[in-house]
Chains A and B, each alone.
Chain A
Amino acid sequence: SQTIHQWPATLVQPVGSPLSLECTVEGTSNPNLYWYRQAAGRGLQLLFYSVGIGQISSEVPQNLSASRPQDRQFILSSKKLLLSDSGFYLCAWSGTGQAFFGQGTRLTVV
């Protein structure tokens, strides 16, 4: 069966520090992969999606970037965090007509 792993679960980082959130998928090949951010009152915002290794589509210009170095690995990064980057980040993969989500990362930038 397919599983998705996302870590860490919680993270507190100072403003200006770098960020790296990692997501891996098991049990499937060539999945579509997504990063979403959930901010209070704003629902789920699609940040990046990827249909294959090295193929990244960015939805919103921002302080973040994404990379897909391997078929089942998706990384969300930032060189310098802003206070506005705080939120709940969700990784997901899609297949068989639905999306499957990781457990999320609560990021607090202080």
Chain B
Amino acid sequence: AQSVTQLGSHVSVSEGALVLLRCNYSSSVPPYLFWYVQYPNQGLQLLLKYTSAATLVKGINGFEAEFKKSETSFHLTKPSAHMSDAAEYFCAVSRGDDMRFGAGTRLTVKP
């Protein structure tokens, strides 16, 4: 069975500060890992995905994530937060027919 744990339901950073959103996964087989972003009352958009190629994955809007097998982690980072980054972020794991999501982390960016 697969599962995802996102540490921190709310993260608040200042504009220009580092963004770090944490995700740990559990999977019995090598997983595919994803980060999605959701703006209010909209569907989810893919930020980036890991599918067993390079462990450092670069996504859209300056985000990147690093797959660390030894830590079973896939944390999302961005060097400098922008006001437009305020949204909810979901980590997900998939292997097979279903995709499992974390509970989400709401990112607030303060001016």
Contacts and interface: CB of A to CB of B under 8 A. Distances in A.
A88 B90 CA distance: 15
B84 interface: no
For the side of the interface on A, what is the size category? 20 to 34
Interface string B36-71: 100001111110010100000000000000000000
A87 to B, nearest CB: 12
Contacts of A92: 44, 99
B99 A90 contact: no
B49 A98 contact: yes
Nearest to A106: B41
Nearest to B6: A43
Interface string A79-110: 00000000010101010011111111010000
B98 A41 contact: no
Given A98-B49, A99-B34, A99-B92, A90 B97 contact: no
Candidate in B32, B92, B99, B103 with the most chain A CB atoms within 10 angstroms = B99
B97 A49 contact: yes
Contacts of A51: 97
Q: Say what secondary structure dominates the interface of chain B.
A: strand
Contact of B90 (A44, A57, A100, A104): A44
A21 B36 CA distance: 23
28 contacts: A34-B98, A36-B101, A41-B9, A41-B103, A42-B103, A43-B90, A43-B103, A44-B101, A44-B104, A46-B100, A49-B98, A90-B43, A92-B44, A92-B99, A94-B94, A94-B99, A97-B32, A99-B34, A99-B92, A99-B99, A100-B46, A101-B43, A101-B44, A101-B45, A103-B42, A104-B42, A104-B43, A106-B41
